Structure 1
Amino acid sequence: TGVTVDSSAAAEEAAATMLAAGARNVIITLGERGTLFASAAGVEHIPARRVQAVDTTAAGDTFVGGF
């Protein structure tokens, strides 16, 4: 999208760009700040749960696999 995602507002901007390009649903993970879900129906920010992280290897892959 050309948008640097360094804040929730930037994530919303990137999601809007992807929706305008034809995506029906957009999910952007924001690490400890949670996840942003966007669709034509609107934008939802899902906060992350606080956990004691032991190893973050493959955290993104695990998120996508679980989703």
Structure 2
Amino acid sequence: MKRANAGPKLLLLFAFILLLSTASLAADSFTLPMNIIDVGPRAQGFSGAFTGIADDASAFYWNPAGY
């Protein structure tokens, strides 16, 4: 008799775990553009278009193959 009640409980547990996992995945994929912090004030002035002319201390961040 106890086995007959295990099915709905397992289904409810599975639905709860599925709900929590999809909520955490959705939170990871949402980012705001203002959360992206550029390295160096000159790179911030160029709005991130700094890869081709990186010639200061932040060049290793922007274009490591340039050295």
- Same fold judged by TM-score > 0.5? no
- Structure with the bigger percentage of helix: 2
> Which structure has the higher relative contact order (CA within 8 Å, separation 6+)?
1
Question: Which structure has the larger Rg over C-alpha atoms?
Answer: 2
TM-score normalised per structure 1: 0.24
TM-score normalised per structure 2: 0.24
- Structure with the bigger percentage of strand: 1
